[in-house]
Amino acid sequence: MTAGKTSGPGRRVLRRLGPFEVPAIGLGCMNVSHAYGVPPTPEAAEHLLRTALDEGVTLFDTAALYGFGANEELLGRVLAGDRDRIVLASKCGMTGVDGRRVIDGRPETIRRTADRALTRMRVDVIDLYYLHRVDRRVPVEESVGAMAELVEAGKVRALGLSEASAGTLRRAYAVHPIAALQNEYSLWSRNPEQGTLAAARELGVALVAFSPLARGFLTSVPPEAGSLPDGDIRGGMPRFDARHYPANLALRSELAQIAEGAGLTLAQLALAWVVSRGPHVIAIPGTRSVTHLRENLSALDVDVSDEALDAAGRVLNASTVHGARYNEATLAEIDTERCGHAG
């Protein structure tokens, strides 16, 4: 990027997502049904989705895992009538079985999961279907091969991978074109910079960044130390534990000063940084708050200087963040390249 003022991409400037074009910021729908403590009421969740649609969001991202099907049902209930206005993405290969999260990339499971997703979301075809996790017991070629059959059957329009490495992306792409690679990417999670960011650009694949606001850490109200509710996924993440969180909060304070000096909110700065990483990068922040939803989307309308983006990247990155992004048991399940960290 060149020095000086850099305009935000704008809500009317679209980015390529396989056969689709979408704004650079969509909506990750997980946290209205899953993983972040007690979900909001159905009425609040529906209001959030309708507001997102009214505010110009066209990419809605869900998965069979989220709420063990409840999130897909929610999107079907709220958005099925606006099918021609949205790009609907879901995922297979990781589901809830008897109350437990199970990774299963076998072809027969993928086919069954897709049929259930179509029913839950009240649609005839899923626009973008991801392999949520690579099942280490099943060659990725077999999993993607089954997903390619869904495309041939007219049940899916485009394929994606989630939490996959550059090498796995290339293997999958050799079986069927991959439209999107969804990996965690934010100021404090830089794994895509170890290979997938460049590989996706080379192959013409969109890099869809989940948790671009660092799981709520880079918002106006970060989680308080030790206050996470029961069942909140962040309770098992080292960056939020008592050993590492105070040091990370100190880094956040520096970022907040940079944002304030640039006339931005912290969320605007963090999202602007993510979508500035390349024209093939799309961010899907999640939220339960209509106010925060509008704040997130406003990152497409603000001007952010290269100096502010560069300063933010120097303060919080793979070398300065304290703690790994997952615990060791979860990291062992994930195919992405790893980054180091400060502590």
Rounded-to-integer distance, Cα 261 and Cα 221, Å: 19
Residue 204 has pLDDT above 50, yes or no: yes
Q: Is residue 115 part of a domain?
A: yes
Question: In total, how many domains does the chain have?
Answer: 1
**pLDDT at residue 4, rounded to an integer:** 36
Residue 66 in tokens = 């989220």
**pLDDT at residue 67, rounded to an integer:** 94
Q: Is residue 9 part of a domain?
A: no
The predicted-structure confidence for 267-306, as pLDDT tens digits, reads as follows 999 999 999 999 999 999 999 999 999 999 999 999 999 9
Residue 224 has pLDDT above 90, yes or no: no
Task: Pick the closest to residue 59 from 36, 93, 29, 94 (CA basis).
Answer: 29
Q: Is residue 202 part of a domain?
A: yes
Residue 198 in tokens = 């460049």
The predicted-structure confidence for 251-263, as pLDDT tens digits, reads as follows 999 999 999 999 9
CA distances (Å), origin 102, targets 48, 95, 305: 29, 5, 44
- Contacts of 289-293 with C-beta under 8 Å, sequence gap 24+, read 289/48, 290/47, 290/48, 290/51, 292/219, 292/220, 292/267, 293/27, 293/48, 293/51, 293/52, 293/55
Q: Is residue 82 part of a domain?
A: yes
Question: Do residues 230 and 37 lie in contact, with contact meaning Cβ atoms separated by under 8 Å?
Answer: yes
Chain Cα centroid distance, residue 24: 12
The predicted-structure confidence for 119-136, as pLDDT tens digits, reads as follows 999 999 999 999 999 999
Mean pLDDT, rounded, for 75-89: 96
**pLDDT at residue 340, rounded to an integer:** 75
Which amino acid would we find at residue 328?
A: E
What CATH number did the domain enclosing 312 receive?
Answer: 3.20.20.100
Q: Is residue 100 part of a domain?
A: yes
Rounded-to-integer distance, Cα 332 and Cα 327, Å: 9
**pLDDT at residue 8, rounded to an integer:** 60
Instruction: Give 231's pLDDT tier (boundaries 50, 70, 90).
Output: confident
Number of other residues whose CB lies within 10 A of the CB of residue 44 = 14
Q: Is residue 260 part of a domain?
A: yes
Range of the domain at 108: 14-331
Which residues contact residue 160 at a Cβ distance below 8 angstroms, ignoring those fewer than 6 apart?
A: 18, 89, 128, 129, 130, 131, 178, 179, 180, 181, 182, 208
Q: Is residue 137 part of a domain?
A: yes
**pLDDT at residue 13, rounded to an integer:** 85
Beta bridge partners of 27: 60
Question: Do residues 11 and 173 lie in contact, with contact meaning Cβ atoms separated by under 8 Å?
Answer: no
Q: Give the full edge-to-edge strand order of the sheet including 59-61.
A: 27-28, 59-61, 87-92, 126-131, 156-162, 180-184, 206-210, 281-284
More confident of the two residues 10 and 247: 247
Number of other residues whose CB lies within 10 A of the CB of residue 43 = 8
Instruction: Give 239's pLDDT tier (boundaries 50, 70, 90).
Output: very high
Q: Is residue 248 part of a domain?
A: yes
Residue 318 has pLDDT above 60, yes or no: yes
Residue 7 has pLDDT above 70, yes or no: no
The predicted-structure confidence for 12-62, as pLDDT tens digits, reads as follows 789 999 999 999 999 999 999 988 888 899 999 999 999 999 999 999 999
Mean pLDDT, rounded, for 109-123: 98
Buried b (16+ CB within 10 A) or exposed e, 211-227: bbbbbbbbbeebbeeee
Just list the catalytic residues. 66
Flag whether the pTM goes above 0.85.
Answer: yes
The predicted-structure confidence for 133-184, as pLDDT tens digits, reads as follows 999 999 999 999 999 999 999 999 999 999 999 999 999 999 999 999 999 9
Mean pLDDT, rounded, for 232-248: 94
CA distances (Å), origin 262, targets 253, 303, 305: 14, 9, 8
Which amino acid would we find at residue 222?
A: P
Mean pLDDT, rounded, for 83-91: 97
Classified as helix, coil or strand, 91 is: strand
